[in-house]
Amino acid sequence: MGKDSSYFTGKLFYTAGQYFFFNTVPGIINWVADDMVPIFNEYCNPHGGCDIPRSSSIADDLRPVTRNPYTSSEIKETLNRKLRLLVLELTSSCNMNCEYCINGAAYEQKDCFTSKNMSKQVAFDGVDYLLNHSQDQVKPLAISFYGGEPLLRYSLLKEIIIYAKKQASNKGKEMVFSITTNGTLLTHEIIEFFIKHSVQLVISLDGPEEINDRFRKLKNGEGTYDCIIKALQMIKDTDVAYFNLLVRCSVVVMPSENLNKLEIFFNELHVNLLVNYVDTYGLDDAKFRQTTSSDSVESLKNSLIDRLLKEGAGILSKTSSNKDFSIALLSPMLKRFLESKSSSQFMGLGQCIPGASRLYLAADNFFYPCEKLAGHSIASIGNIEKGIDEEKSEYLLKQFYEMANSKCTGCWMSSRCSACLALICSGDHLDKKKFNHYCNGTKSWGLSDLKMISKAKLHLSNKPGILNT
């Protein structure tokens, strides 16, 4: 698969009584007439992946390429003048003991994490670094607080926000703030401060009590559901506009959970949602390696299809959809298929310039490309004393694309894949097995989503503009 530029790549699949072909580049879905299927099959493997010569009767003028889209000069300029988001790990300590936490005992890589606290000087130096390396950034600068549990360092957090706003104002820059917290330490005082400074608040909550408290527990073993629900209500009672605009619940969906039960719960809670599945790679405990019920997932997808048929793809971008569990769970991949613009060339999976999209300053003073890579020595890209190591950032990009070229060039999912360094870094090395684990899952979910969209296309063929693929 993935021969050279004289071929184009895609996926042939069958659903709802009709054959379809997904063109990886430019990322569109085509109907395939029954009499054309044998021609496609000449170029397809048993799994439906296809390399079709440009010279064939069904070829389009496409150029499937997997390449590093960034030059050395672009990397240097971006890291020196266009930084936008700084993530501060105020502490790696936490007052909870979540079983699925990447820092917890269930993961094979647990030994690379130790408990540390960030000093005030390092935090302020981080703010200065962001301001001094964002001269050409036209968007508002952002600082996000992370942990561990960042509210264990609330006093420092307050000082950082006040300092950052003053320094940003002196440079004519706008600064916004966010925090990811387990929610158990929220008080009325803290909430009032966050409201005053428009801090975006992301609170972890995995569902109703019996689901949330199964894995999200305090150090003493007590569940956290009641505490979080009280905190959410306190925020809503204090300032409902703030609650609706700047508060989100981060939901981790565990294997084999009843998705319909979660959908009912969160739709009744009516809060903005950020939904993800737990990362099962590297988990020692077998209970985490179960698969989520396909029937449960398909039920949600079929329900979403019905809504797409009635309301159109616009429901994926409505403000109200942020509080809809099924859309929050399924829309990231769907939006890639439904809303992305066609392109004659594929440019680079989901990998950013390491340190550019977000710069993670860990409590140990080291820089990482993001919070998912913190603690993995292979991914360290400098420190607060010396700044970002531009050569290391470029090296990581090259290493990623070397691995991607052997795996992704010619893959039918490449133009809609979000693969990045976070999927292959493991401690002090790059892990091909980890990459393969993600790759297989992405193609499985991607095919399921393609079938879902194609079913909708069949019903919407007389309603132009509802689906743009």
Q: What is the pLDDT of residues 93-112, one digit of tens each?
A: 999 988 777 665 544 554 44
* Domain of 305, in residue numbers: 72-338
How far is it, in rounded angstroms, from Cα 405 to Cα 351? 13
Give the model's pLDDT for residue 25: 61
Give the model's pLDDT for residue 103: 64
Range in 72-86, 175-189, 231-245, 448-462 the model is least confident about: 448-462
Give the model's pLDDT for residue 65: 39
Q: How confident is the model at residue 343 (pLDDT cuts 50, 70, 90)?
A: very low
Q: Which residues contact 384 (CB under 8 A, 6 or more apart)?
A: 122, 125, 126, 129, 361, 365, 367
Q: Does any domain span residue 113?
A: yes
Is the pLDDT score of 469 beyond 50? Answer: no
How far is it, in rounded angstroms, from Cα 349 to Cα 353? 12
Residue scoring higher pLDDT (35 or 272): 272
Q: How confident is the model at residue 319 (pLDDT cuts 50, 70, 90)?
A: low
- The model carries a pTM of 0.80
How far is it, in rounded angstroms, from Cα 117 to Cα 362? 9
Query: Do residues 67 and 348 lie in contact, with contact meaning Cβ atoms separated by under 8 Å?
Result: yes
Report the pLDDT averaged over residues 116-133.
98
Q: Does any domain span residue 106?
A: yes
Q: What percentage of the chain has pLDDT greater than the value 70?
A: 73
Q: Does any domain span residue 425?
A: no
- The phi, psi pair for 75, rounded to 5°, reads -60, -50
Q: Does any domain span residue 355?
A: no
Query: Can you spell out the DSSP letters for 202-241?
Result: EEE--SSHHHHHHH-BBTTS-B-HHHHHHHHHHHHHH-HH
Give the count of domains, the chain.
1
Query: Do residues 417 and 371 lie in contact, with contact meaning Cβ atoms separated by under 8 Å?
Result: no
Residue 148: asked if its preceding bond is cis (omega within 30°), the reply is: yes
Query: Do residues 72 and 132 lie in contact, with contact meaning Cβ atoms separated by under 8 Å?
Result: no
Give the model's pLDDT for residue 298: 64
Q: What is the pLDDT of residues 192-240, one digit of tens each?
A: 999 999 999 999 999 999 999 988 999 999 999 999 999 999 999 999 9
Is the pLDDT score of 366 beyond 50? Answer: yes
Q: Does any domain span residue 408?
A: no
Q: Does any domain span residue 82?
A: yes
Residue scoring higher pLDDT (442 or 219): 219
Residue scoring higher pLDDT (263 or 51): 263
Give the model's pLDDT for residue 270: 93
Residue scoring higher pLDDT (306 or 174): 174
Report the pLDDT averaged over residues 107-126.
78
Residue scoring higher pLDDT (467 or 191): 191
Give the model's pLDDT for residue 466: 35
How far is it, in rounded angstroms, from Cα 320 to Cα 122? 39
Give the model's pLDDT for residue 297: 64
Q: How confident is the model at residue 292 (pLDDT cuts 50, 70, 90)?
A: very low
Q: Does any domain span residue 193?
A: yes
Report the pLDDT averaged over residues 151-168.
98
Q: What is the pLDDT of residues 169-196, one digit of tens each?
A: 999 999 999 999 999 999 999 999 999 9
Q: What is the pLDDT of residues 13-63, one digit of tens each?
A: 887 777 877 877 656 677 677 777 887 888 887 766 787 776 676 654 333
Which CATH number does the domain housing residue 236 bear? Answer: 3.20.20.70
Give the model's pLDDT for residue 295: 58
Name the burial class of residue 34, with classes exposed (0-12), middle (13-18) and buried (19+) by CB atoms within 10 angstroms of its CB. exposed
**140-154, 298-312, 441-455: which has the highest mean pLDDT?**
140-154
Q: Does any domain span residue 466?
A: no
Residue scoring higher pLDDT (339 or 332): 332
Q: What is the pLDDT of residues 400-429, one digit of tens each?
A: 888 887 777 667 777 677 788 888 888 898
